[in-house]
Structure 1
Amino acid sequence: MSGNGEPESTDSLKQFGAVLKAFRERAEMTQEALARRVQFSPATVASIEQGRRLPPPRFIERAGEVLDALGVLKAAAQYLSRQPGLAAWFRQWAELEEQAISLYTYECRLIPGLLQTEAYARTLFDERVPPLTDEESETQVTARLARQELLRTRPNTAFSFIVDEHVLQRRTGGVETSRVLLDHLLEYTAKRRNVEFQIMPLQRGVHAGLDGPIRLLETPEIQWFAYSEGQESGQFVSDPKTISTLHMRYAKLRSQALTPEDSRSLLKQMRGAL
Protein backbone atom coordinates (compact mmCIF):
# COMPACT_ATOMS: atom_id res chain seq x y z
CA MET A 1 0.00 0.00 0.00
CA SER A 2 1.47 3.32 -1.06
CA GLY A 3 1.43 6.37 1.17
CA ASN A 4 -1.47 7.97 -0.69
CA GLY A 5 -3.77 5.05 0.01
CA GLU A 6 -3.70 3.47 -3.45
CA PRO A 7 -3.74 -0.34 -3.58
CA GLU A 8 -0.62 -2.30 -4.36
CA SER A 9 -0.58 -4.47 -7.47
CA THR A 10 -1.44 -8.15 -7.04
CA ASP A 11 -1.08 -11.28 -9.17
CA SER A 12 -4.19 -12.85 -7.66
CA LEU A 13 -6.51 -10.78 -9.87
CA LYS A 14 -4.57 -11.84 -12.97
CA GLN A 15 -4.73 -15.48 -11.91
CA PHE A 16 -8.49 -15.32 -11.45
CA GLY A 17 -8.82 -13.61 -14.83
CA ALA A 18 -6.81 -16.36 -16.50
CA VAL A 19 -9.04 -19.04 -14.96
CA LEU A 20 -12.17 -17.20 -16.10
CA LYS A 21 -10.81 -16.80 -19.62
CA ALA A 22 -9.90 -20.50 -19.84
CA PHE A 23 -13.42 -21.59 -18.91
CA ARG A 24 -14.96 -19.03 -21.26
CA GLU A 25 -12.87 -20.28 -24.15
CA ARG A 26 -13.66 -23.88 -23.25
CA ALA A 27 -17.34 -22.93 -23.58
CA GLU A 28 -16.53 -21.36 -27.00
CA MET A 29 -18.01 -18.10 -25.83
CA THR A 30 -16.88 -14.55 -26.63
CA GLN A 31 -16.53 -11.89 -23.96
CA GLU A 32 -19.60 -10.18 -25.40
CA ALA A 33 -21.65 -13.39 -25.19
CA LEU A 34 -20.59 -14.04 -21.61
CA ALA A 35 -21.37 -10.43 -20.71
CA ARG A 36 -24.93 -10.83 -21.97
CA ARG A 37 -25.44 -14.05 -20.03
CA VAL A 38 -24.12 -12.70 -16.71
CA GLN A 39 -25.73 -9.25 -17.17
CA PHE A 40 -22.49 -7.29 -16.90
CA SER A 41 -20.89 -5.10 -19.57
CA PRO A 42 -18.30 -6.53 -22.03
CA ALA A 43 -15.83 -3.99 -20.65
CA THR A 44 -16.29 -5.48 -17.17
CA VAL A 45 -15.67 -9.00 -18.44
CA ALA A 46 -12.55 -7.83 -20.27
CA SER A 47 -11.25 -5.97 -17.21
CA ILE A 48 -11.73 -9.03 -14.99
CA GLU A 49 -10.00 -11.33 -17.45
CA GLN A 50 -7.09 -8.89 -17.70
CA GLY A 51 -6.74 -8.83 -13.92
CA ARG A 52 -7.59 -5.14 -13.68
CA ARG A 53 -10.88 -5.46 -11.85
CA LEU A 54 -12.05 -7.27 -8.73
CA PRO A 55 -14.97 -9.56 -9.70
CA PRO A 56 -18.12 -8.75 -7.69
CA PRO A 57 -19.73 -11.73 -5.92
CA ARG A 58 -22.72 -11.61 -8.27
CA PHE A 59 -20.40 -11.88 -11.26
CA ILE A 60 -18.63 -14.92 -9.81
CA GLU A 61 -21.96 -16.60 -9.10
CA ARG A 62 -23.45 -15.94 -12.54
CA ALA A 63 -20.28 -16.70 -14.51
CA GLY A 64 -19.80 -19.92 -12.56
CA GLU A 65 -23.31 -21.06 -13.43
CA VAL A 66 -23.06 -20.06 -17.10
CA LEU A 67 -19.63 -21.66 -17.58
CA ASP A 68 -20.34 -24.70 -15.36
CA ALA A 69 -17.38 -23.69 -13.22
CA LEU A 70 -18.90 -22.31 -10.03
CA GLY A 71 -16.76 -24.41 -7.71
CA VAL A 72 -13.53 -23.53 -9.50
CA LEU A 73 -14.27 -19.80 -9.72
CA LYS A 74 -15.28 -19.62 -6.06
CA ALA A 75 -12.09 -21.44 -5.09
CA ALA A 76 -10.01 -19.07 -7.22
CA ALA A 77 -11.79 -16.06 -5.69
CA GLN A 78 -10.65 -17.09 -2.22
CA TYR A 79 -7.11 -16.12 -3.16
CA LEU A 80 -7.99 -12.65 -4.36
CA SER A 81 -6.70 -9.72 -2.33
CA ARG A 82 -9.60 -9.16 0.05
CA GLN A 83 -10.30 -5.51 -0.66
CA PRO A 84 -8.12 -3.92 -3.32
CA GLY A 85 -9.01 -0.30 -3.86
CA LEU A 86 -9.60 0.39 -0.18
CA ALA A 87 -7.15 2.66 1.59
CA ALA A 88 -5.18 1.02 4.40
CA TRP A 89 -6.79 3.16 7.10
CA PHE A 90 -10.29 2.08 5.94
CA ARG A 91 -9.74 -1.68 5.82
CA GLN A 92 -10.25 -2.31 9.54
CA TRP A 93 -13.59 -0.51 9.36
CA ALA A 94 -14.59 -2.32 6.16
CA GLU A 95 -13.95 -5.70 7.78
CA LEU A 96 -16.19 -4.76 10.72
CA GLU A 97 -18.89 -3.58 8.29
CA GLU A 98 -19.16 -7.13 6.97
CA GLN A 99 -20.28 -8.36 10.41
CA ALA A 100 -22.14 -5.31 11.73
CA ILE A 101 -25.69 -5.65 13.01
CA SER A 102 -26.23 -1.86 12.97
CA LEU A 103 -24.58 0.67 10.69
CA TYR A 104 -25.26 4.42 10.95
CA THR A 105 -23.97 6.99 8.45
CA TYR A 106 -24.37 10.76 8.37
CA GLU A 107 -22.84 12.45 5.33
CA CYS A 108 -22.65 16.11 4.33
CA ARG A 109 -20.11 15.91 1.48
CA LEU A 110 -21.28 13.22 -0.94
CA ILE A 111 -23.62 10.24 -1.25
CA PRO A 112 -22.43 7.46 1.10
CA GLY A 113 -20.42 4.80 -0.72
CA LEU A 114 -22.92 2.02 0.05
CA LEU A 115 -25.62 3.95 -1.82
CA GLN A 116 -23.66 5.25 -4.81
CA THR A 117 -24.43 4.15 -8.35
CA GLU A 118 -21.61 3.09 -10.64
CA ALA A 119 -21.86 6.30 -12.69
CA TYR A 120 -21.78 8.46 -9.55
CA ALA A 121 -18.77 6.60 -8.13
CA ARG A 122 -16.97 6.71 -11.46
CA THR A 123 -17.42 10.49 -11.62
CA LEU A 124 -15.84 10.88 -8.19
CA PHE A 125 -12.79 8.78 -9.04
CA ASP A 126 -12.39 10.14 -12.59
CA GLU A 127 -12.28 13.67 -11.16
CA ARG A 128 -9.86 12.82 -8.33
CA VAL A 129 -7.00 15.27 -7.72
CA PRO A 130 -4.24 14.32 -8.39
CA PRO A 131 -5.64 12.27 -11.30
CA LEU A 132 -5.81 8.49 -11.13
CA THR A 133 -4.82 6.26 -14.02
CA ASP A 134 -7.64 4.41 -15.80
CA GLU A 135 -6.61 1.22 -14.03
CA GLU A 136 -6.53 2.87 -10.60
CA SER A 137 -9.93 4.47 -11.16
CA GLU A 138 -11.40 1.15 -12.30
CA THR A 139 -10.03 -0.62 -9.23
CA GLN A 140 -11.50 2.01 -6.91
CA VAL A 141 -14.92 1.84 -8.58
CA THR A 142 -14.93 -1.95 -8.38
CA ALA A 143 -14.04 -1.94 -4.70
CA ARG A 144 -16.81 0.53 -3.95
CA LEU A 145 -19.43 -1.48 -5.81
CA ALA A 146 -18.25 -4.71 -4.17
CA ARG A 147 -18.86 -3.18 -0.73
CA GLN A 148 -22.48 -2.65 -1.69
CA GLU A 149 -23.07 -6.39 -1.47
CA LEU A 150 -23.55 -5.66 2.24
CA LEU A 151 -26.97 -4.17 1.50
CA ARG A 152 -27.99 -7.25 -0.47
CA THR A 153 -26.50 -9.98 1.69
CA ARG A 154 -27.22 -8.68 5.22
CA PRO A 155 -31.02 -8.27 5.48
CA ASN A 156 -30.86 -8.44 9.28
CA THR A 157 -28.44 -5.51 9.57
CA ALA A 158 -30.08 -2.17 10.37
CA PHE A 159 -28.76 0.49 7.99
CA SER A 160 -29.44 4.15 8.75
CA PHE A 161 -28.38 6.94 6.39
CA ILE A 162 -28.78 10.67 6.88
CA VAL A 163 -27.66 12.88 3.99
CA ASP A 164 -27.69 16.66 3.68
CA GLU A 165 -30.12 17.91 1.03
CA HIS A 166 -27.48 19.98 -0.77
CA VAL A 167 -25.53 16.77 -1.55
CA LEU A 168 -28.51 15.53 -3.59
CA GLN A 169 -28.95 18.89 -5.30
CA ARG A 170 -25.36 19.11 -6.50
CA ARG A 171 -26.08 16.90 -9.56
CA THR A 172 -22.67 15.24 -9.44
CA GLY A 173 -21.97 13.67 -12.82
CA GLY A 174 -24.70 15.59 -14.62
CA VAL A 175 -28.46 15.32 -15.00
CA GLU A 176 -28.61 11.71 -16.23
CA THR A 177 -26.33 10.44 -13.47
CA SER A 178 -28.50 12.29 -10.96
CA ARG A 179 -31.68 10.72 -12.39
CA VAL A 180 -30.22 7.24 -12.05
CA LEU A 181 -29.01 8.02 -8.54
CA LEU A 182 -32.40 9.27 -7.36
CA ASP A 183 -34.14 6.24 -8.90
CA HIS A 184 -31.62 4.03 -7.11
CA LEU A 185 -32.29 5.71 -3.76
CA LEU A 186 -36.05 5.51 -4.24
CA GLU A 187 -35.80 1.80 -5.03
CA TYR A 188 -33.72 1.07 -1.95
CA THR A 189 -35.96 3.05 0.37
CA ALA A 190 -39.05 1.29 -1.01
CA LYS A 191 -37.90 -2.33 -1.10
CA ARG A 192 -35.53 -2.79 1.82
CA ARG A 193 -37.11 -2.72 5.25
CA ASN A 194 -33.71 -2.70 6.94
CA VAL A 195 -32.55 0.46 5.14
CA GLU A 196 -33.65 3.82 6.56
CA PHE A 197 -32.85 6.95 4.55
CA GLN A 198 -33.38 10.48 5.83
CA ILE A 199 -32.61 13.87 4.34
CA MET A 200 -31.37 16.80 6.42
CA PRO A 201 -33.29 19.70 4.85
CA LEU A 202 -31.68 22.96 3.85
CA GLN A 203 -34.20 24.80 6.03
CA ARG A 204 -32.53 23.28 9.09
CA GLY A 205 -29.96 26.02 9.55
CA VAL A 206 -28.28 24.46 12.59
CA HIS A 207 -28.11 20.75 13.39
CA ALA A 208 -26.04 18.24 15.35
CA GLY A 209 -23.84 17.24 12.41
CA LEU A 210 -22.11 20.54 11.70
CA ASP A 211 -18.78 19.13 12.91
CA GLY A 212 -18.72 16.71 9.99
CA PRO A 213 -19.67 13.18 8.86
CA ILE A 214 -20.45 10.44 11.39
CA ARG A 215 -20.09 6.68 10.98
CA LEU A 216 -21.06 4.27 13.73
CA LEU A 217 -21.45 0.49 13.75
CA GLU A 218 -22.45 -2.21 16.20
CA THR A 219 -20.85 -5.66 16.16
CA PRO A 220 -22.60 -8.97 16.99
CA GLU A 221 -20.84 -8.75 20.37
CA ILE A 222 -22.74 -5.48 21.05
CA GLN A 223 -19.61 -3.37 20.73
CA TRP A 224 -19.78 0.03 19.07
CA PHE A 225 -17.07 1.62 16.94
CA ALA A 226 -16.82 4.82 14.94
CA TYR A 227 -14.86 6.01 11.96
CA SER A 228 -13.81 9.51 10.95
CA GLU A 229 -12.34 10.33 7.57
CA GLY A 230 -10.42 13.38 6.43
CA GLN A 231 -8.79 14.43 3.17
CA GLU A 232 -5.91 11.95 3.17
CA SER A 233 -6.36 10.07 6.41
CA GLY A 234 -8.88 8.25 8.54
CA GLN A 235 -9.29 7.50 12.23
CA PHE A 236 -10.76 4.34 13.73
CA VAL A 237 -12.48 5.21 17.02
CA SER A 238 -13.03 2.78 19.90
CA ASP A 239 -12.97 5.19 22.87
CA PRO A 240 -16.32 4.75 24.69
CA LYS A 241 -16.53 8.41 25.64
CA THR A 242 -16.12 9.60 22.05
CA ILE A 243 -18.57 7.00 20.78
CA SER A 244 -21.13 8.09 23.37
CA THR A 245 -20.82 11.67 22.12
CA LEU A 246 -21.26 10.58 18.51
CA HIS A 247 -24.30 8.50 19.49
CA MET A 248 -25.89 11.55 21.09
CA ARG A 249 -25.24 13.60 17.95
CA TYR A 250 -26.58 10.92 15.62
CA ALA A 251 -29.74 10.52 17.71
CA LYS A 252 -30.25 14.28 17.51
CA LEU A 253 -29.66 14.20 13.75
CA ARG A 254 -32.38 11.59 13.34
CA SER A 255 -34.85 13.83 15.13
CA GLN A 256 -33.80 16.91 13.14
CA ALA A 257 -33.86 15.28 9.68
CA LEU A 258 -36.98 14.67 7.62
CA THR A 259 -38.80 11.43 8.40
CA PRO A 260 -38.12 8.52 6.00
CA GLU A 261 -41.57 9.08 4.47
CA ASP A 262 -41.01 12.82 3.97
CA SER A 263 -37.51 12.10 2.66
CA ARG A 264 -38.98 9.80 0.00
CA SER A 265 -41.42 12.53 -0.99
CA LEU A 266 -38.55 14.99 -1.39
CA LEU A 267 -36.59 12.47 -3.46
CA LYS A 268 -39.60 12.12 -5.77
CA GLN A 269 -39.84 15.91 -6.08
CA MET A 270 -36.15 16.14 -6.97
CA ARG A 271 -36.55 13.34 -9.52
CA GLY A 272 -39.52 15.04 -11.11
CA ALA A 273 -37.60 18.29 -11.44
CA LEU A 274 -34.84 16.70 -13.56
Structure 2
Amino acid sequence: MSEDHGLEEDDSGAVMRAVGRQIKLWREAAGLKQAELGAAIGYGEELVSAVERARRIPRPEFLDNADKVLGAGGKIAAMKKDVAEARYPKKVRDVKKLEAEAVELGSYNNSVIDGLLQTEEYARAVFGDRRPAFTEDELERRVAARMARQEIIDATTARPLFNFVQCESTLRRPLGGRMVLRRQLERLLEIGQLRNVDLQVLPLNREENAGVDGSFRLLRLKEGATVGLNEIQLISSLIAEPKAAQILDIRYGAIRAQALTPRESLAFIEKVLGET
Protein backbone atom coordinates (compact mmCIF):
# COMPACT_ATOMS: atom_id res chain seq x y z
CA MET A 1 0.00 0.00 0.00
CA SER A 2 3.03 2.26 -0.33
CA GLU A 3 1.68 3.87 -3.50
CA ASP A 4 0.17 6.83 -1.60
CA HIS A 5 1.83 9.92 -2.98
CA GLY A 6 4.13 12.52 -1.51
CA LEU A 7 3.26 16.15 -0.98
CA GLU A 8 4.51 19.40 -2.46
CA GLU A 9 5.04 22.37 -0.19
CA ASP A 10 2.13 24.61 -1.20
CA ASP A 11 -1.36 25.34 0.13
CA SER A 12 -2.16 21.62 0.02
CA GLY A 13 0.10 21.23 3.06
CA ALA A 14 -2.43 22.99 5.28
CA VAL A 15 -5.16 20.63 4.06
CA MET A 16 -3.09 17.57 4.81
CA ARG A 17 -2.05 18.78 8.24
CA ALA A 18 -5.72 19.21 9.12
CA VAL A 19 -6.51 15.73 7.79
CA GLY A 20 -3.63 14.23 9.74
CA ARG A 21 -4.71 15.89 12.97
CA GLN A 22 -8.27 14.63 12.58
CA ILE A 23 -7.16 11.05 11.98
CA LYS A 24 -4.84 11.18 14.98
CA LEU A 25 -7.60 12.58 17.22
CA TRP A 26 -10.09 9.91 16.15
CA ARG A 27 -7.44 7.17 16.55
CA GLU A 28 -6.50 8.28 20.05
CA ALA A 29 -10.17 8.61 21.02
CA ALA A 30 -10.63 4.99 19.90
CA GLY A 31 -7.67 3.93 22.03
CA LEU A 32 -5.70 2.54 19.09
CA LYS A 33 -1.99 2.76 18.37
CA GLN A 34 -0.80 3.59 14.86
CA ALA A 35 0.18 -0.03 14.23
CA GLU A 36 -3.24 -1.22 15.37
CA LEU A 37 -5.07 1.20 13.10
CA GLY A 38 -2.82 0.24 10.22
CA ALA A 39 -3.49 -3.47 10.73
CA ALA A 40 -7.23 -2.84 10.90
CA ILE A 41 -7.38 -0.92 7.60
CA GLY A 42 -4.70 -2.81 5.66
CA TYR A 43 -1.84 -0.34 5.89
CA GLY A 44 1.49 -0.32 7.68
CA GLU A 45 2.28 1.63 10.85
CA GLU A 46 4.81 3.73 8.93
CA LEU A 47 2.19 4.95 6.46
CA VAL A 48 -0.34 5.76 9.21
CA SER A 49 2.35 7.78 10.95
CA ALA A 50 3.28 9.57 7.72
CA VAL A 51 -0.37 10.47 7.04
CA GLU A 52 -0.84 11.85 10.55
CA ARG A 53 2.32 13.93 10.15
CA ALA A 54 1.12 15.22 6.74
CA ARG A 55 4.06 13.58 5.01
CA ARG A 56 1.92 11.33 2.80
CA ILE A 57 -1.37 11.82 1.01
CA PRO A 58 -3.85 9.01 1.78
CA ARG A 59 -5.87 7.34 -0.93
CA PRO A 60 -9.69 7.43 -0.71
CA GLU A 61 -9.85 3.83 0.55
CA PHE A 62 -7.52 4.75 3.43
CA LEU A 63 -9.98 7.44 4.55
CA ASP A 64 -13.03 5.21 4.02
CA ASN A 65 -11.55 2.34 6.02
CA ALA A 66 -10.26 4.60 8.78
CA ASP A 67 -13.71 6.18 9.04
CA LYS A 68 -15.35 2.79 9.56
CA VAL A 69 -12.75 1.41 11.98
CA LEU A 70 -12.68 4.59 14.09
CA GLY A 71 -16.44 5.05 14.04
CA ALA A 72 -16.17 8.58 12.68
CA GLY A 73 -19.63 8.50 11.13
CA GLY A 74 -18.49 9.86 7.78
CA LYS A 75 -16.43 12.74 9.15
CA ILE A 76 -13.11 11.29 7.96
CA ALA A 77 -14.51 10.00 4.66
CA ALA A 78 -15.95 13.47 3.99
CA MET A 79 -12.41 14.80 3.60
CA LYS A 80 -11.83 12.77 0.41
CA LYS A 81 -12.67 15.68 -1.90
CA ASP A 82 -10.22 18.04 -0.19
CA VAL A 83 -7.54 15.35 -0.20
CA ALA A 84 -8.16 14.63 -3.90
CA GLU A 85 -7.49 18.27 -4.74
CA ALA A 86 -4.38 18.32 -2.55
CA ARG A 87 -3.06 15.15 -4.21
CA TYR A 88 -2.10 16.96 -7.42
CA PRO A 89 0.68 19.51 -7.93
CA LYS A 90 -0.43 23.13 -7.49
CA LYS A 91 0.32 23.93 -11.12
CA VAL A 92 -2.04 21.16 -12.20
CA ARG A 93 -4.76 22.34 -9.83
CA ASP A 94 -4.46 25.88 -11.19
CA VAL A 95 -4.75 24.71 -14.79
CA LYS A 96 -7.67 22.46 -13.92
CA LYS A 97 -9.46 25.42 -12.31
CA LEU A 98 -8.92 27.55 -15.41
CA GLU A 99 -10.17 24.76 -17.65
CA ALA A 100 -13.31 24.43 -15.52
CA GLU A 101 -14.03 28.15 -16.07
CA ALA A 102 -13.56 27.98 -19.85
CA VAL A 103 -16.32 27.85 -22.44
CA GLU A 104 -13.87 26.97 -25.21
CA LEU A 105 -10.42 25.41 -25.16
CA GLY A 106 -7.97 25.32 -28.04
CA SER A 107 -4.65 23.50 -28.18
CA TYR A 108 -1.79 23.23 -30.64
CA ASN A 109 0.88 20.64 -29.96
CA ASN A 110 3.90 19.67 -32.01
CA SER A 111 5.75 17.59 -29.42
CA VAL A 112 3.31 15.13 -27.79
CA ILE A 113 -0.40 14.38 -27.78
CA ASP A 114 -2.28 16.98 -25.72
CA GLY A 115 -2.61 15.98 -22.06
CA LEU A 116 -6.42 16.03 -22.22
CA LEU A 117 -6.29 13.37 -24.93
CA GLN A 118 -3.60 11.07 -23.57
CA THR A 119 -4.20 7.48 -22.54
CA GLU A 120 -2.78 6.50 -19.16
CA GLU A 121 -0.07 4.41 -20.82
CA TYR A 122 0.96 7.27 -23.08
CA ALA A 123 0.99 9.76 -20.17
CA ARG A 124 3.16 7.35 -18.18
CA ALA A 125 5.61 7.17 -21.09
CA VAL A 126 5.73 10.97 -21.40
CA PHE A 127 6.46 11.49 -17.71
CA GLY A 128 8.74 8.45 -17.64
CA ASP A 129 11.01 10.03 -20.25
CA ARG A 130 11.62 13.08 -18.08
CA ARG A 131 15.26 13.77 -17.08
CA PRO A 132 16.23 13.93 -14.34
CA ALA A 133 13.76 11.12 -13.70
CA PHE A 134 10.77 11.42 -11.39
CA THR A 135 10.59 9.14 -8.38
CA GLU A 136 8.02 6.36 -8.69
CA ASP A 137 5.68 8.21 -6.30
CA GLU A 138 5.97 11.46 -8.23
CA LEU A 139 5.46 9.66 -11.54
CA GLU A 140 2.26 8.05 -10.27
CA ARG A 141 1.10 11.36 -8.85
CA ARG A 142 1.53 13.20 -12.13
CA VAL A 143 -0.14 10.46 -14.18
CA ALA A 144 -3.10 10.49 -11.78
CA ALA A 145 -3.32 14.27 -12.04
CA ARG A 146 -3.32 14.16 -15.82
CA MET A 147 -6.07 11.55 -15.88
CA ALA A 148 -8.13 13.60 -13.42
CA ARG A 149 -7.96 16.66 -15.68
CA GLN A 150 -9.61 14.66 -18.45
CA GLU A 151 -12.88 14.60 -16.50
CA ILE A 152 -13.68 17.93 -18.17
CA ILE A 153 -14.23 16.13 -21.50
CA ASP A 154 -17.68 14.82 -20.67
CA ALA A 155 -19.78 13.51 -23.56
CA THR A 156 -22.99 13.96 -21.55
CA THR A 157 -22.66 17.74 -21.22
CA ALA A 158 -21.22 18.61 -24.66
CA ARG A 159 -19.44 21.60 -23.15
CA PRO A 160 -17.12 23.34 -23.13
CA LEU A 161 -16.08 23.33 -26.78
CA PHE A 162 -12.69 21.78 -27.56
CA ASN A 163 -10.41 22.13 -30.53
CA PHE A 164 -7.12 20.27 -30.73
CA VAL A 165 -4.57 20.65 -33.51
CA GLN A 166 -1.90 17.97 -33.45
CA CYS A 167 1.18 18.12 -35.63
CA GLU A 168 1.53 14.92 -37.66
CA SER A 169 4.83 14.22 -35.90
CA THR A 170 2.97 13.58 -32.62
CA LEU A 171 0.91 10.86 -34.30
CA ARG A 172 4.02 9.00 -35.43
CA ARG A 173 6.33 9.38 -32.44
CA PRO A 174 6.11 5.95 -30.69
CA LEU A 175 6.45 7.09 -27.09
CA GLY A 176 6.16 4.01 -24.89
CA GLY A 177 6.32 1.67 -27.88
CA ARG A 178 4.19 0.91 -30.91
CA MET A 179 1.31 -0.71 -28.99
CA VAL A 180 1.05 2.32 -26.69
CA LEU A 181 0.95 4.53 -29.78
CA ARG A 182 -1.73 2.35 -31.40
CA ARG A 183 -3.97 2.62 -28.35
CA GLN A 184 -3.33 6.36 -28.26
CA LEU A 185 -4.39 6.74 -31.88
CA GLU A 186 -7.51 4.69 -31.19
CA ARG A 187 -8.26 7.02 -28.28
CA LEU A 188 -7.98 10.03 -30.60
CA LEU A 189 -10.48 8.49 -32.99
CA GLU A 190 -12.92 7.94 -30.12
CA ILE A 191 -12.64 11.49 -28.78
CA GLY A 192 -12.82 12.93 -32.29
CA GLN A 193 -16.38 11.57 -32.53
CA LEU A 194 -17.65 13.69 -29.62
CA ARG A 195 -20.02 16.50 -30.62
CA ASN A 196 -18.11 19.18 -28.72
CA VAL A 197 -14.64 18.18 -29.94
CA ASP A 198 -12.89 19.19 -33.16
CA LEU A 199 -9.67 17.27 -33.67
CA GLN A 200 -7.39 18.47 -36.46
CA VAL A 201 -4.05 17.33 -37.83
CA LEU A 202 -1.42 19.63 -39.30
CA PRO A 203 0.47 17.48 -41.84
CA LEU A 204 4.25 17.68 -42.08
CA ASN A 205 4.07 18.36 -45.82
CA ARG A 206 2.35 21.72 -45.30
CA GLU A 207 4.51 24.55 -46.60
CA GLU A 208 2.96 26.93 -44.08
CA ASN A 209 2.95 26.42 -40.32
CA ALA A 210 2.10 29.27 -37.95
CA GLY A 211 3.01 27.07 -35.00
CA VAL A 212 6.73 26.68 -35.49
CA ASP A 213 7.40 28.57 -32.24
CA GLY A 214 5.99 25.62 -30.30
CA SER A 215 2.97 24.25 -28.49
CA PHE A 216 0.46 26.41 -26.62
CA ARG A 217 -3.14 26.45 -25.43
CA LEU A 218 -5.93 29.03 -25.51
CA LEU A 219 -8.84 29.25 -23.07
CA ARG A 220 -11.87 31.48 -23.59
CA LEU A 221 -13.33 32.14 -20.16
CA LYS A 222 -16.97 32.64 -19.20
CA GLU A 223 -16.60 36.38 -18.74
CA GLY A 224 -15.24 36.75 -22.27
CA ALA A 225 -11.50 37.01 -21.64
CA THR A 226 -9.01 34.86 -23.53
CA VAL A 227 -5.86 33.58 -21.86
CA GLY A 228 -2.98 31.49 -23.12
CA LEU A 229 -0.98 28.72 -21.48
CA ASN A 230 2.57 28.12 -22.55
CA GLU A 231 4.91 25.38 -21.35
CA ILE A 232 8.46 25.14 -22.66
CA GLN A 233 11.02 22.99 -20.88
CA LEU A 234 11.30 24.32 -17.29
CA ILE A 235 9.08 27.37 -17.87
CA SER A 236 5.30 27.36 -17.48
CA SER A 237 3.46 30.63 -17.98
CA LEU A 238 -0.06 32.02 -18.07
CA ILE A 239 -0.52 34.63 -20.79
CA ALA A 240 -3.29 36.94 -19.62
CA GLU A 241 -2.14 40.28 -21.03
CA PRO A 242 -4.78 41.11 -23.71
CA LYS A 243 -2.39 42.02 -26.55
CA ALA A 244 -0.24 38.91 -26.04
CA ALA A 245 -3.32 36.68 -25.80
CA GLN A 246 -4.65 38.26 -28.99
CA ILE A 247 -1.43 37.37 -30.81
CA LEU A 248 -1.84 33.73 -29.77
CA ASP A 249 -5.49 33.85 -30.80
CA ILE A 250 -4.57 35.10 -34.29
CA ARG A 251 -1.78 32.54 -34.53
CA TYR A 252 -4.12 29.73 -33.50
CA GLY A 253 -6.66 30.76 -36.11
CA ALA A 254 -3.96 30.51 -38.77
CA ILE A 255 -2.90 27.08 -37.51
CA ARG A 256 -6.46 25.79 -37.70
CA ALA A 257 -6.80 27.10 -41.23
CA GLN A 258 -3.56 25.38 -42.27
CA ALA A 259 -4.59 22.05 -40.72
CA LEU A 260 -6.84 19.39 -42.20
CA THR A 261 -10.54 19.64 -41.43
CA PRO A 262 -11.84 17.50 -38.55
CA ARG A 263 -13.30 14.96 -40.99
CA GLU A 264 -10.08 14.80 -43.01
CA SER A 265 -8.08 14.57 -39.80
CA LEU A 266 -9.94 11.50 -38.51
CA ALA A 267 -9.33 9.80 -41.86
CA PHE A 268 -5.66 10.79 -41.59
CA ILE A 269 -5.39 9.32 -38.07
CA GLU A 270 -7.01 6.08 -39.29
CA LYS A 271 -4.40 5.95 -42.06
CA VAL A 272 -1.53 6.42 -39.59
CA LEU A 273 -3.08 3.77 -37.30
CA GLY A 274 -3.11 1.34 -40.19
CA GLU A 275 0.58 2.00 -40.79
CA THR A 276 1.55 1.60 -37.12
TM over 0.5: yes
1:121 alignment partner in structure 2 = 123
State which of 97, 100, 116 in structure 1 corresponds to 2:99: 97
1:236 equivalent in alignment to 2:225:
no
1:182 equivalent in alignment to 2:185:
yes
Structure 2 gaps, min length 5: 1-6, 27-36, 44-55, 66-73
Q: Which whole-Å CA distance do the structure 2 matches of 1:158 and 1:194 have between them?
A: 5
State which of 66, 77, 82 in structure 1 corresponds to 2:80: 77
Q: Which whole-Å CA distance do the structure 2 matches of 1:133 and 1:114 have between them?
A: 23
Alpha-carbon contact 1:164-1:199 (below 8 Å) kept: yes
Alpha-carbon contact 1:53-1:142 (below 8 Å) kept: no
2:8 alignment partner in structure 1 = 7
Query: Sequence identity, in percent?
Result: 34
User: Equivalences for 1:1-274 in 2 at 5 Å?
Assistant: 7-8=8-9, 12=16, 75-80=78-83, 82=85, 84-86=87-89, 88=91, 91-152=93-154, 155-190=158-193, 192-274=194-276
Amino acid corresponding to residue 128 of structure 2 in structure 1: D
Aligned-pair CA distance for 1:124: 1.4
Q: Which whole-Å CA distance do the structure 2 matches of 1:73 and 1:182 have between them?
A: 41
* 1:154-205 C-alpha deviation (Å, 9 max, x unpaired): 5220111001001110111101101110111111111x11111000001113
Alpha-carbon contact 1:214-1:226 (below 8 Å) kept: yes
- The runs of at least 4 consecutive aligned structure 1 residues that moved more than 4 Å come to 51-55, 71-74
Amino acid corresponding to residue 112 of structure 2 in structure 1: L
Residue correspondences, number = 231
| The structure with more radius of gyration | 2
Q: Which whole-Å CA distance do the structure 1 matches of 2:76 and 2:273 have between them?
A: 40
Structure 1 gaps, min length 5: 1-5, 32-50, 64-70
Amino acid corresponding to residue 161 of structure 1 in structure 2: F
Amino acid corresponding to residue 7 of structure 1 in structure 2: E
Aligned-pair CA distance for 1:257: 0.2
Q: Which whole-Å CA distance do the structure 2 matches of 1:175 and 1:204 have between them?
A: 25
Amino acid corresponding to residue 210 of structure 2 in structure 1: A
* 1:53-83 C-alpha deviation (Å, 9 max, x unpaired): 766xxx9xxx9xxxxxxx7787222321625
Q: Which whole-Å CA distance do the structure 2 matches of 1:54 and 1:72 have between them?
A: 16
